[in-house]
């Protein structure tokens, strides 16, 4: 199963080359991740999940440039891998003009007391497993 959300492309996301700046894609990915673990859950009365995580790695493959602002990208997000204290998310960012980018991030669960990585608990594993795609 994939979580589907939107990311708004703003006019000021465009850079001097007239397309969305490469770093902005990480913002779209971050917004999708926040919706996946936080906002979409709150909207249906569930507690946010994995608020105490940090990004350990992020990568983006740019496929088709975006040359305009003022519209919403479709963002699909799913779990690619679950480890002991980390998990990998995969993303696809698309519009009616096609697939614009694919991304991957590795998140690490962190203890807020020690500021060190911690094992994922069973509730977190169950949540992530529901979106796991091989």
Nearest partner of 7 among 23, 40, 37, 30, judged by Cα: 30
Nearest partner of 75 among 48, 50, 99, 46, judged by Cα: 99
CB 89 within 8 A of CB 80: yes
pLDDT tens string, the chain, 134 residues long: the values are 999 999 999 999 999 999 999 999 999 999 999 999 998 888 888 888 888 999 999 999 999 999 999 999 999 999 999 999 999 999 999 999 999 999 999 999 999 999 999 999 999 999 999 999 97
Query: pTM score, two decimals?
Result: 0.93
CA atoms of 21 and 95, how far apart (whole Å): 17
Every domain of the chain and the residues it spans: 3-129
CATH code at 3-129: 3.10.129.10
CB 78 within 8 A of CB 1: yes
Return all residues near 100 (Cβ < 8 A) that are at least 6 apart: 62, 63, 64, 65, 66, 73, 93, 94
Residue 54, both tokens: 């940090």
CA distances to 86, 94, 104 from 64, in Å:
30, 9, 17
Cα 94 from chain centre: 14
Phi-psi region of 42 (alpha: psi -120 to 50; beta: other; left: phi over 0): alpha
């Amino acid at each position: 199963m994939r979580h589907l959300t939107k990311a708004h492309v703003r006019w000021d996301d465009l850079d001097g080359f007239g397309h969305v700046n490469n770093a902005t894609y990480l913002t779209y990915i971050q917004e999708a991740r926040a919706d996946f673990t936080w906002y979409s859950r709150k909207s249906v009365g569930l507690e946010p999940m994995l608020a105490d995580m940090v990004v350990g790695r992020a990568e983006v493959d740019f496929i088709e440039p975006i040359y305009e602002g003022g519209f919403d990208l479709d963002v699909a997000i799913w779990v690619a891998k679950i480890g002991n204290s980390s998990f990998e998310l995969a993303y696809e960012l698309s519009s009616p003009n096609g697939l614009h980018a694919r991304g991957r991030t590795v998140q690490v669960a962190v203890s807020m007391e020690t500021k060190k990585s911690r094992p994922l608990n069973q509730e977190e594993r169950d949540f992530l497993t529901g979106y796991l795609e091989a």
